[in-house]
């Protein structure tokens, strides 16, 4: 008779012990997925913004703005690196932003192809900075094909 209700207490205790790690896992996975969506969308939209720019001088600024919009769409603060390079190679080329000179810009001639890459470092919730600082990086790539019928700059 002394163990009446013990199963209920054990069930609640075991439930809480299992629920907390599962809840954290769901939150951490949603943070990773949110960053993946944002970076993928940022690469695609930056490529489209760059390829459709009327003036090649404004293309880097348009691409940078598209990246910021994509991050804001997923309610992410912070920055992401926007880089470009030849198709199929590493995107460790020159950073594309509004201060890039016309010499260092991706090609804007009709038919040109290049790859835009967006990299973002994110933090997992509840993990101290000294454990995950600058280790969680996600990258997305988008191949840009400048329209063949576009007038040359």
118 near 36, Cβ under 8 Å? Answer: no
Q: Is residue 96, in this structure, part of any structural domain at all?
A: yes
Q: Is residue 106, in this structure, part of any structural domain at all?
A: yes
Q: Is residue 150, in this structure, part of any structural domain at all?
A: no
Amino acid 70: pLDDT: 93
pLDDT tens-digit series, residues 109-135:
788 888 889 999 888 888 777 777 667
91 near 115, Cβ under 8 Å? Answer: yes
42 near 140, Cβ under 8 Å? Answer: yes
Range of the domain at 87: 6-145
Q: Is residue 152, in this structure, part of any structural domain at all?
A: no
Q: Is residue 67, in this structure, part of any structural domain at all?
A: yes
- pTM here is 0.79
Give how far Cα 51 sits from Cα of 72, 91, 114, Å.
22, 18, 10
Q: Is residue 40, in this structure, part of any structural domain at all?
A: yes
Q: Is residue 153, in this structure, part of any structural domain at all?
A: no
Number of domains within the chain:
1
């Amino acid at each position: 008779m002394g163990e009446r209700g013990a199963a209920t207490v054990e069930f609640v205790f075991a439930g809480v012990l299992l629920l907390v790690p599962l809840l954290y896992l769901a939150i951490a996975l949603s943070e990773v997925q949110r960053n993946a969506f944002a970076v993928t969308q940022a690469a695609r939209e930056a490529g489209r913004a760059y390829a459709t720019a009327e003036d090649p001088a404004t293309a880097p600024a348009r691409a940078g703005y598209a990246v910021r919009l994509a991050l804001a769409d997923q309610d992410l603060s912070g920055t992401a690196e926007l880089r470009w390079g030849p198709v199929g190679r590493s995107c460790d080329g020159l950073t594309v932003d509004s201060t890039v000179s016309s010499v260092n810009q991706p090609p804007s001639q009709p038919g040109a192809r290049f790859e835009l890459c967006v990299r973002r470092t994110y933090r997992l919730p509840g993990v101290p900075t000294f454990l995950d600082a600058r280790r969680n990086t996600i990258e997305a790539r988008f191949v840009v094909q400048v329209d063949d019928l576009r007038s040359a700059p």
